[in-house]
Amino acid sequence: MLIFKATKDTLKDLKVQPDSVGNLDLLFCWHVNIFNLYRKKHYVFMNDLTRLSLTVTGIRTGQNQKLNEFFVNSLREYLIEEDLSASLISSYIENCNETIITKTDSRSVISTLSEIMLVMKSLEMDNQGFEDMDERQKWNNRFIYKPIDYQKPIEVFIKELKQRYSS
């Protein structure tokens, strides 16, 4: 089950009331925020455990029922671009069939998410940004962050998937 921890602006855009949740597996928890990039609305997701980020476009106001579909398809495509094995991708995606939308709960994740959005926005202003979504995703997930012991989010995510799903 996916847990989307949405900011106030995102909850308002999705036109949804947040649910309450109990114990969570952080690998399946994603903070999400909305912002404009290249004159289009984007949703930026960030994994709570690994700080992996995913930028998704095409979600319209009030489409909370389709949020899971957009996210899962974008994540699958991105992980294929990163050359992950099909079995690892499938193992993770199998657990993403249901979605709960709740409020944000981690200032650390929010600040890392804000940092990614700031970098994308500043690159857009300097005309040095990546309009190619795949290149932007790869570039964003190669920053190093203190909360994940100065590692790259994609490496932490892959390592976690291998620990959980490799036999």
Whole-prediction pTM value? 0.91
- Look at residues 30, 21, 36 and name the one whose alpha carbon lies nearest to residue 110: 30
- Domains of the chain in start order, with CATH, are 2-165 (3.30.420)
According to DSSP, the residues that pair with 130 across neighbouring strands are: none
User: Beta-strand (E) ranges in the chain?
Assistant: 2-6, 29-37, 40-47, 53-57, 99-103
| Residue range 40-85, pLDDT digits in tens | 889 999 999 999 999 998 787 777 778 899 999 999 999 999 999 9
Query: What is the sign of the dihedral through the CA atoms of 80, 165, 50 and 24?
Result: positive
Lowest mean pLDDT across 12-16, 21-25, 29-33, 130-134: 130-134
